[in-house]
């Protein structure tokens, strides 16, 4: 069983005591057997490196936030620093918003963007699994 721990910290550079507490919690969770650790909102490469060191060899996770007000280098730099897992929640959401807007503009008479084929869509929404679950219930008619 993988146990992960997220150490949240207010993204304010004025709180060294909060940063030190976050590091202490990371170390405590390493001692408790956490498998993946996350220090939220490091303000500098030095803070990120210090958080990684506190993980004592366990994988450190970073969450990208293009609009965030914290230290967030690119992928190659994250790897160089020692981050082993990166999550991209806003990138996926931003791409989805853009695709939806483009599709809606196409429906209003603009140029239609490329879209998934019926087979790609069926795979993406796992239609076969859905239909197999649906088949368990009797037809109400």
- Report strand pairing: 36-39 vs 85-87: unpaired
User: CA distances (Å), 141 to each of 133, 136, 137, 138, in order?
Assistant: 18, 15, 12, 9
pLDDT value of residue 98: 93
Domain boundary assignment for the chain: 4-87, 91-134
pLDDT value of residue 1: 52
pLDDT value of residue 58: 93
pLDDT value of residue 14: 53
pLDDT per residue as tens digits for the range 41-55:
888 999 999 999 999
Q: Return the SS3 of 136.
A: coil
Q: Give the Cα separation of 41 and 26 in Å (integer).
A: 14
Low-confidence ranges of the chain (pLDDT < 50): 10-11
Structure tokens at 80: 């160089």
pLDDT value of residue 141: 75
Q: What is the model's pTM?
A: 0.65
pLDDT value of residue 2: 52
Structure tokens at 138: 């009797």
């Amino acid at each position: 069983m993988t146990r992960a721990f997220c150490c949240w910290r207010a993204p304010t550079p004025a709180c060294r005591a909060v940063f030190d507490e976050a590091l202490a919690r990371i170390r405590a969770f390493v001692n408790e057997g956490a498998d993946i650790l996350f220090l939220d909102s490091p303000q500098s490469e030095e803070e990120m490196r210090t958080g990684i060191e506190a993980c004592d060899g366990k994988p450190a996770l970073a969450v990208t936030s293009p609009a965030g007000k914290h230290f967030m280098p690119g992928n190659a730099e994250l790897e160089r620093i020692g981050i082993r897992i990166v999550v991209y929640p806003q990138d996926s959401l931003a791409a989805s918003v853009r695709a939806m807007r483009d599709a809606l503009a196409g429906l209003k008479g603009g140029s239609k963007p490329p879209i998934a084929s019926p087979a790609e869509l069926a795979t993406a929404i796992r239609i076969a699994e859905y239909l197999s679950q649906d088949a368990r219930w009797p037809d109400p008619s």
